[in-house]
């Protein structure tokens, strides 16, 4: 049996426990492999697995435009860091519209996966494009009738 002290290591502001890493935070009870308390800067890219070979039950997103219209972009300050303004969404609102983009932590705190909202935005854009094309055709037909 390993002792807790054998499974936990500290490196300056970083803690490693059972293969989980916490930077500026404690990871003993974390459900995440990497947890960072603070900003993260990446000089290259961050990728998420999206290979169709790993997916099943694939369906197009429906009512995407209505979902986008149901969410409100907000500007805010964080209670624990009031000197800096942020922009984003309220997780509770997103959860009502696109629950797949919201994670509920063990303590009930909600987090939004902003990259997951890109698929909704793409479908909403396609829907708007189709609506615009239909309106162009209607305007063209009306102009032809007037000539």
Report pLDDT digits (tens) over 13-61. Answer: 777 777 788 888 766 566 778 888 888 888 888 888 899 999 999 999 9
* Residues 31 and 100 both lie in one domain: no
* Residues 37 and 77 both lie in one domain: no
Sheet holding 20-23, edge to edge: 8-11, 14-17, 20-23, 34-36
Domain annotation covers residue 54: no
Angle at 44 between CA 39 and CA 47, to 5 degrees: 85
pTM > 0.85: yes or no: no
Domain annotation covers residue 56: no
Domain hosting 39: range is: 1-46
């Amino acid at each position: 049996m390993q002792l807790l002290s054998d499974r936990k290591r500290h490196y300056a502001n970083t803690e490693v426990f059972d293969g989980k890493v916490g930077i500026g935070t404690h990871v003993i009870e974390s459900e995440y492999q990497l947890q960072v308390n603070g900003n993260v800067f990446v000089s290259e890219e961050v990728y998420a697995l999206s290979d169709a070979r790993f997916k099943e039950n694939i369906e197009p997103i429906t009512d995407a435009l209505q979902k986008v219209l149901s969410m409100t972009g907000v500007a805010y300050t964080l209670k624990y860091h009031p000197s800096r303004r942020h922009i984003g969404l309220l997780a509770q609102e997103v959860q009502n519209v696109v629950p797949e983009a919201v994670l509920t932590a063990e303590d009930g705190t909600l987090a939004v996966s902003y990259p997951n909202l890109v698929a909704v935005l793409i479908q909403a854009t396609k829907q708007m494009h189709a609506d615009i094309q239909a309106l162009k055709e209607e305007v063209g037909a009306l102009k032809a009738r007037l000539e």
